[in-house]
Structure 1
C-alpha cells in the first residue's frame, strides 16, 4: 500500500507540473495561434495557394522547435483519381511529423487541418477576418476555431509534455505522429492517397481527430456520432431557349417553376425529410430544449423549428436536406423571361448507419419520380461521405473521458454532431486496429464557417490541458 501511495504522489506531482506548463505557456500559445490566423490559408481553388504553403511552413517550424520529433516534413499526394497519371494533380500541402515510441509505449496520431473556409464578405465581419481580435473572452478570426485552434492544441500539449519531462529529468517515451491536413475544407481530395503513401509515418494505436466541438463553454464533449454527407448538383431543364414571359407565361412551364415545385417535394409540411429510403438512427441524447436551439442557431423570433422528435435526434440521428446554392439570373439582371434551365446544389446529411451510395440512390429516384411537367433532370458532381459511430468501449475513450473530467472539472458529454467528417472512414480503412477519438476546441457560439468565427479562450486552455493530460497518461501506459 505504501508503494501505491508513493506512486500516486509522484503521478500527482507530475500532473501538477504539467498543468503549470500549460498555464505558463498559454500566452505563447495564443500568440502562435494569432500568427496562424493572419495567414489566409483558404483551400478553395479561387484563392491563392501560396498562403497554404506559408501556413504549412509556419506549422512545420513550430513542430521543429519542440525538439520532440524524428521527422517533420511538408508533403503532398495526388488527388483521388489522378494517382496513376504521368503528371498527377497534387493536393494541398500537409504537415507530417513523427517520433518513434521508446520501449513498449503506444503511439498516438494527432490530426487537425490548417486550411480554412473562404471569409465571405468583409462587411459581414465586425473586425477583419484575418486580423485576430479579442472581445469578451473570445478570439475572433477565420480559422480561430476551425481548425487552427485544433492545430495549436496539439502543439501546445506537446510543448507542455516535453518541457515537463525535461524539467523532471526524464525522457519522453510516448510515440507521437501528426497529420495537419491542408484541404479539409475542400473535400480532402488527396486524403486517401496521402494515407497510403505515408502509412508507416502515420501508423498509431490511437488517433485524435481535433475537428469537432465541446458541449458548451463550460462542459467538454466527446463526439461519438457524425452524420454522413451526400451532395450533388441538380440541373432542371424545360425549354430549348429562353422565351418572353408575357408571350408564353401561363402556358409554358419555365425551369424555375419546375425546380421550385420539385424541391418542395423533398420535405413534409413540418420540414421533415420526405424522401423514401433515407433512414434515421437510434441515438440517446442529453436534454436540449428549443430555447437553446434558438439561441445557438440564431433562429429569428416567430420562425419555428422544423422536423419531428427530440431536437438533438433531428440534428444527430435523422436525415436533413438543404439547398445550398442556385444558379439562376440574379435580381439585378432579372428580365421578363421564362428561364430554360436552373442548376441547384443539394446537400444532404444522412444518419449514422446508412451508406451514402444508398442515400444518393434514394434521392435521385425521388427527384426523377417527382419531376413536374416532364422536366428533364441531370445530376452532376456527386460527393459522398461516410457517417461514423465511435466504439466507446476501448481504453483510449476511457482515458480521454478521464482527462476531460480532470481538466474541465466536470464529466464530459457523449455527443453527436450533425456535420460530417467523411475522411474518418478512410482512417478506419487504413488503420483498422487504431482507436479513433473525435474531439475539438469549438463551442456552440463559435460560428465556424460563418462571419465572426471565434474561439472561447477559457475553453481552449482547458482543451489544451485535456490533451496534455491524455498524452502524459499514455506516456505511462504500456502498449
Structure 2
C-alpha cells in the first residue's frame, strides 16, 4: 500500500508549510525591509542617483540570496526618445518553468518619492521606525514593501517545497517608477526573453482596509504638464500700472479656476466618466482617511468612490511665482504652473491632454500667452477578471486574510501597466498591494501596517505554491 497522501491532503499540507514558513520568516522580512528603507533611493533628477544604484544592488543581493534564480542582473535601458540618456538601474531575475508549469512575473519598484521637509515627519524619513503595528519611513509602503513581499514569498515557497520546484518565476524591480518610468517600454523590449510570463503580479497598490484584501481592477490614467502664462514683456510697478495692465498671476488664477465647476467637479469638455459601479463609502470614512478638515466640504458629484475611481480629476500641483517673502510691488510678467490630471478608465490619455489644453486656451483671460513643456502621459487600465490567475489570486486572499476580498478601482495611476499589456498581451495582470488607507504613500509619515504586510506576503506565497502545482 502506498504511503502517498491523497492530492487534496498533500496540497493542504504544502499550504500549511507555506503559512508556517511565512510566520517563521516574517521578522527577517521586516528587518530586510528596514534595511531597504534606510537607502534614500529617490529617482527624481535633483537627488543623488548613486542611492538608486545602491538600492538596486541591495535588492539584487536579496534575490540572489533566495538561491532559486538562474539569472539575477542589474540593467538599464534608454529613456524613450533618447539615444544617450539611460534610466535608473532595475533588477531583473528569472528561473525557467518546467513540466508544463506557468511562469509568473513579479513586479515592484525600489525607488521612492522625495521625502519633503524633515520637519513634517515625526521621525526621520530614512530611519525606519516601528510604532505600534506600523513601520514608518519613506518607501516603507510604496514600494519597498512590495519588493519584500516578492522576496519573502519566494523564501516561503522554498522553505515549504524546496528549491527544486517547477514554477517559472521572473522578477522585475524597477528603479524609476516614481519618475514616470521613462525607460520602462525600452526595458521591456530589451529584456523580453527574461520577462515574458503567463501571469504578472504588480505589487504596487493597496487594500480596502487593514482587515480586508483588495485586487485592483481599474486604474485611472495620468496626464501632467507645465503651462507658462505670460502677459507682459517685463515686470512693471504695480502702483503705477495696476488696474490697467493684467499681470500674469491674475490671468493664471482666473484660467486655472476655470478647470472646475463651483462644486469642484472637473469642467473640461471632452473628459469622460467611466461609469463604474462602486461599493459603499461614506463621507466619514473619507474624512478619516484623508484628514479633510471639519469645516471643509468634499468636492465633486456622484458617489464618493465614483469621483475617485471613475471620474477625471485635475490638480494644480505647483506654481512658480514670487514667494510671499520676495513679493515686491510688481506686476508679475510670467507665471508657470504644473497641471496633474487623472483620466477615467476607458479614455485615451492623449485625448484627455488635448481636451485640457483646448480648455486652457479657450479660457486664457486678457489674451494671455500660453506655453507648454514637461509632458507626461500614462494610459488607464481595466483588468479582465475572467481569467484563471484572478481566480487563484482571490482564493489566496481569502485563505490568507480569512476575509472575502474586494475588487477595487484606484484613483492613482500605474501607467506602465498599459505598457506591460502591450508587450505581453497574453499575460494576465494581477494588481495587488501592501498599503492600507492610512499608509500615506507619497506623504510625510508614510507607513506600513505590519499586519497587512504579513497577510499580503502570505497571500503571494500561497499563490506561488498553488501555481507551482498548476499544469497547462
> What TM bracket, shorter-length normalisation?
over 0.9
Residue among 163, 179, 202 paired with 2:159: 163
Residue among 374, 378, 389 paired with 2:382: 389
Equivalent position of 2:66 in the other structure: 66
CA distance in 2: counterparts of 1:157 and 1:255, whole angstroms: 55
Q: Is 2:122 the counterpart of 1:129?
A: no
* Residue-by-residue CA offset, 1:322-367 (whole Å, 9 max, x unaligned): 0000000001100000000000000110100000111111111111
The 3 A distance-change label for structure 1 pair 466 and 54 is same
* Residue-by-residue CA offset, 1:358-411 (whole Å, 9 max, x unaligned): 111111111111111111111111111100000000000000000001000011
Equivalent position of 1:226 in the other structure: 219
CA distance in 1: counterparts of 2:304 and 2:419, whole angstroms: 30
Secondary structure of the residue aligned to 1:201 is helix
1:3 deviation in Å? 12
Equivalent position of 2:92 in the other structure: 96
CA distance in 2: counterparts of 1:25 and 1:103, whole angstroms: 29
Equivalent position of 1:52 in the other structure: 52
Q: Is 2:27 the counterpart of 1:27?
A: yes
The 3 A distance-change label for structure 1 pair 346 and 3 is farther
CA distance in 2: counterparts of 1:282 and 1:396, whole angstroms: 26
CA distance in 1: counterparts of 2:160 and 2:3, whole angstroms: 23
Equivalent position of 1:207 in the other structure: 200
* Residue-by-residue CA offset, 1:163-201 (whole Å, 9 max, x unaligned): 2112xxx83110000000000000101000000000000
* Residue-by-residue CA offset, 1:104-148 (whole Å, 9 max, x unaligned): 000000000000001111111000000000112000000000000
1:103 deviation in Å? 1.1
Equivalent position of 1:148 in the other structure: 144
CA distance in 2: counterparts of 1:4 and 1:355, whole angstroms: 55
Q: Which runs of 5+ in 1 are unaligned?
A: none
Q: Is 2:224 the counterpart of 1:235?
A: no
* TM-score, scaled relative to structure 2: 0.98
Equivalent position of 1:111 in the other structure: 107
Q: Which runs of 5+ in 2 are unaligned?
A: none
1:68-467 equivalence runs, <5 A = 68-82=68-82, 85=83, 88-166=84-162, 171-467=164-460
CA distance in 2: counterparts of 1:440 and 1:431, whole angstroms: 21
CA distance in 1: counterparts of 2:259 and 2:151, whole angstroms: 45
1:9 deviation in Å? 1.2
1:6 deviation in Å? 2.1
CA distance in 1: counterparts of 2:430 and 2:122, whole angstroms: 34
CA distance in 1: counterparts of 2:176 and 2:401, whole angstroms: 31
CA distance in 2: counterparts of 1:371 and 1:18, whole angstroms: 61
* Residue-by-residue CA offset, 1:5-40 (whole Å, 9 max, x unaligned): 822111111111110000000000001000000000
Q: Number of aligned residue pairs: give it.
A: 471
CA distance in 1: counterparts of 2:70 and 2:262, whole angstroms: 59
CA distance in 1: counterparts of 2:469 and 2:5, whole angstroms: 17
